[in-house]
Chain A
Amino acid sequence: MIDFSSPRHRAKFGYLLLAPAVLMMALIIIYPILLSVDISLQDVRIARVGGDREPWTLENYDWLVRSGEFWNAVWVTAKMVLTVGGISLAIGLATALLVNQKFRGRALARLFVALPWAVPEVVATVIWAWMLDSSFGVVNWALLKVGLIGAPIQFASNATAAFFAVCFVMIWKGYPLVSIMLLAGLQSIPEEQYQAARVDGANVWQRFLFITLPSLAPVIGVTAVMTTLWVFRDFAIIYVLTQGGPIGSTTTLSILTFEQSFSFFRMGQGAAVGVVTLVICAFISRALVGRFANSVH
């Protein structure tokens, strides 16, 4: 009989306890990934698990590198990641700095900053789709009233407008999480650091630059990764708002994956896009997490 409480055998007991969880993870994470890799290597239109297998081929990847659609989706995704990531970080940091100050009604302000995060994605998008509507939308109405524009912006048919509308809703939905995480980061900076810097003669801007930013760097890194992956992954906002159009201007890699698989029923090609997206995401997270984690420690 093995005594699992002895220091010698404690690790074994740990593995034993972990085993079911690891198996579950393997089933629900690893299996689908392997499945998509498998499908991406077959020339299939509608894949059926357990059906007849096609022979393995690189045809789908060949299509990928040659097709304009794939490179367009890469380009759209990159633009969107940079726009949404950059602006969310900026707004998130600004709001976090704001609600980290002591002032009356701070609790309320914090609630407001966090609010968009609590609204379900589809609900938020539907509300925005309605507000951005070119004939009935409140946004166009307001812009017209103020006189900033002469004619309603066609969010559905103007490629640039559609892209920025999607970005806008993503930022609106995404910055609260950034803000909450950065606020937690800000609160972990000891007050004495700022006092020391003030005695050392640092002004507000220098304290931000030399104390706040370096201390926040790891949190910023993690947040940037999360936002990036979120934009890569997001489907609901784009699909509800624009369905990837007009003329592919908001077709990101995940929209393309969906389109190929379920609109055009070319599951092999869809899976290939999905696999490539996965690889890109893995590299980005590795690079960002590694860099920011190293910059402090």
Chain B
Amino acid sequence: MATIDFDNVQKSYGEVHAIRDFTLHVEDGDFCVFVGPSGCGKSTALKMLAGLEATSAGSISIGGRDVTELGPGKRDIAMVFQNYALYPHMSVRSNIGFGLKMRGQDKADINRRVEAAAETLELTSYLDRRPRALSGGQRQRVALGRAIVREPSAFLMDEPLSNLDAKLRVQTRSEIVNLQKRLGVTTIYVTHDQVEALTMASKIVVMRGGVIQQIGSPDTLFAEPANIFVAGFIGSPGMNFFRGPVEIENGRAQTRFGEQVVPLSVSPDRLPRGEAIFGIRPEHLKIGGETGGTPVSLGLVESLGTEKILHFPTPEGQAIHSLQKVIGSDDAARDSTTMLARVIDDRRYSDGEHVRVALPEGKVHVFDPETQKALS
């Protein structure tokens, strides 16, 4: 049981700054997820915490103890690797017990604890097999077993689900969360998948280019993204953006979306003169009203049964062409001239159909076009 603190940690590989100004406090028992696009430095941050990589500057503490200068074996942490890193020439039993053996525990004690861990993870009947003779999901559980058997003060996991198929991933996701809840061990979990982050975390750290973008609970990140990157990264699909004028009428700020006048909940003196960037989540768009909103013609319609993703062009002159660089190209379906709406209803939509799209009041996010930070 331990808190974890990063204090202004830096990491550079020669010229490359992999991590900048990384400061983070994780409470005892938290499930903290580092999320961000590939190459943003998540694994590097985790490896520094594990002691597998040296920090270039700053300090790291686990449970209030400064561990910056300690080796991985002395930090009292356990780690689950993306490819599991099981020892291929050892049985499952020896794999799980290896950490205890290295710490000089006696044989009977090791055996007892290995069996208990195997029980928890339903691995008992596989204990004498080699890792090769296990399925992907079972190997993954052995890797978890190797972590829990040591009863460390923190679990570190680096994309542990990325080698599983989609169905098993969803199932294992909840197993890991339940296990963590039951054991109450502080966990740092790395993933590039924002769905994993939202569903598992009690605290999310969104990273980009080695810099923390925002730290918060899943709800906070979803409802109050700190900048355009976080807004576009979190959510499936991510937020829609458009450019619009900032107008003041009767002391209230408003913008326009096509024909629609959209009142803003941000006070006028906080808004930039002229133009701003606006964001609206696909699930907040109102589709198919008789009046109000603005008429659009639907492009692609992706149907998942009752749930549908509707594609339509951003109103004339409101597309933001520099946005691709900001949000990254993770989301292939998205380009700056297309907006998405997510609807759950029984209506049928067809390509080329004309519908009215309306932005409800209070759901529109405003971003500074210069700094890309959220305004509120």
Indicate if the CB atoms of A215 and B73 lie closer than 8 Å. no
Within 8 A of A (CB), among B36-92: 47, 50-52, 71-74, 77-79, 81-83, 85-90
In the bound assembly, the distance between CA atoms of A211 and B88 in angstroms comes to 9
Whether A49 is near chain B, meaning CB under 8 Å from some CB there, is: no
Residues of A close to B99: CB separation below 8 A: 199-201
Across-interface contacts of B332 in A (CB, < 8 A): none
Q: Is the interface on chain A under 10, 10 to 19, 20 to 34, or 35 or more residues?
A: 20 to 34
Q: Would you call A214 and B85 a contact (CB within 8 A)? A: no
Q: A200-B98, A201-B103, A202-B102 are in contact. Are A195 and B73 (CB under 8 A)?
A: no
Other-chain contact of A190, B50, B83, B98, B132 (Cβ < 8 Å): B83
Is B208 close to A, CB under 8 A? no
Task: Tell whether, in the assembled complex, residue A200 and residue B146 are in contact, meaning their CB atoms are under 8 Å apart.
Answer: yes
| B108-134 residues at the A interface, CB under 8 angstroms | 132
Verify A199–B72 contact, CB threshold 8 A.
yes
Contacts of B78 in A (CB 8 A): 199
Contact flags B275-288 to A (C-beta < 8 A → 1, else 0): 00000000000000
Question: Do B87 and A199 touch across chains, with their CB atoms under 8 A apart?
Answer: no
Verify if A208 is at the interface (C-beta below 8 Å from B). no
Q: Is the interface of A mostly helix, strand, loop or mixed?
A: helix
Considering only residues 177-224 of chain A, those with a C-beta below 8 Å from chain B are 190, 192-193, 195-203, 206, 210-211, 214-215, 217
Q: Is the CB of A201 within 8 A of B102?
A: yes
Check B103–A192 contact: CB distance below 8 A. Answer: no
Q: Per a CB cutoff under 8 Å, which of A195, A201, A211 touches B87?
A: A211
Residues of B within 8 A of A206 (CB): 102
Contact B71 A192 (CB under 8 A): no
Chain B residue nearest to A217 in the complex (CB): B89
Which A residues touch B88, using CB under 8 A? 215, 296
B275 CB to nearest chain A CB (Å)? 49
Q: A192 and B73 in contact (CB under 8 A), knowing A201-B103, A202-B102, A214-B89? A: no
- Tell me the complex Cα distance, A199–B103, Å: 11
Of the candidates B51, B77, B81, the one whose C-beta lies within 8 Å of that of A196 is B81
Instruction: Say which residue of A198, A214, A296 sits within 8 Å of B71 (CB atoms).
Output: A198
Among B72, B87, B89, B90, point to the contact of A198 (Cβ < 8 A). B72
Residue contact B81 to A195, C-beta cutoff 8 Å: yes
Considering the chains assembled together, what is the distance between the CA atoms of A271 and B102 in angstroms?
A: 56
Known A-B contacts A199-B73, A200-B146; A190 and B85 likewise in contact (beta carbons under 8 Å): yes
B146: chain A residues at CB < 8 Å are 196, 200
Cα–Cα distance between A217 and B89 once the two chains are bound (Å): 10
Chain B residue nearest to A202 in the complex (CB) = B102
Smallest Cβ distance from A79 to chain B, in angstroms?
Answer: 32
* Distance in Å: Cβ of B105 to nearest Cβ of chain A: 11
Say yes or no: A199-B89 contact (C-beta < 8 A), given A206-B102, A210-B98. no
- Residues 77 to 119 of chain A near chain B (Cβ within 8 Å): none
Q: Which of B72, B83, B89 contacts A192 (CB 8 A)?
A: B83
- Among B52, B74, B98, B150, the residue within 8 A (CB) of A195 is B52
Contacts of B85 in A (CB 8 A): 190, 192-193, 195-196
Contacts of A200 in B (CB 8 A): 73, 98-99, 102, 146, 150
* Given known A-B contacts A200-B98, A200-B102, A193 and B87 have beta carbons under 8 A apart: yes
Q: A residues 124-145 with Cβ under 8 Å of B? A: none
Q: Please report the C-alpha to C-alpha distance between residue A206 and residue B103 in the assembled complex, in whole angstroms.
A: 11
CB closest chain-A residue, reference B50: A199
Closest to B89 in A: A214
- Kindly list chain B residues whose C-beta atoms are within 8 Å of the C-beta of A295: 89
- Nearest A residue (CB) for B103: A201
Question: Which 8 A-B pairs give the minimum distances between C-beta atoms?
Answer: A201-B73, A192-B85, A200-B99, A196-B85, A214-B89, A201-B102, A198-B72, A199-B72
Given contacts A201-B102, A202-B73, 12 further A-B contacts (CB under 8 A): A190-B85, A193-B87, A195-B50, A196-B85, A196-B86, A198-B73, A199-B77, A201-B73, A201-B74, A201-B103, A210-B90, A215-B88
What are 29 A-B residue pairs whose CB atoms fall within 8 Å in the complex? Answer: A190-B83, A192-B81, A192-B83, A193-B85, A193-B87, A195-B47, A195-B72, A196-B85, A196-B86, A198-B71, A199-B50, A199-B51, A199-B78, A199-B99, A200-B98, A200-B99, A201-B72, A201-B74, A201-B99, A201-B102, A202-B98, A202-B102, A210-B90, A214-B87, A215-B88, A217-B89, A295-B89, A296-B88, A296-B89
Identify the B interface with A (CB < 8 A): 47, 50-52, 71-74, 77-79, 81-83, 85-90, 98-99, 102-103, 132, 146, 150
Q: Please report A residues at the B interface, Cβ cutoff 8 Å.
A: 190, 192-193, 195-203, 206, 210-211, 214-215, 217, 295-297
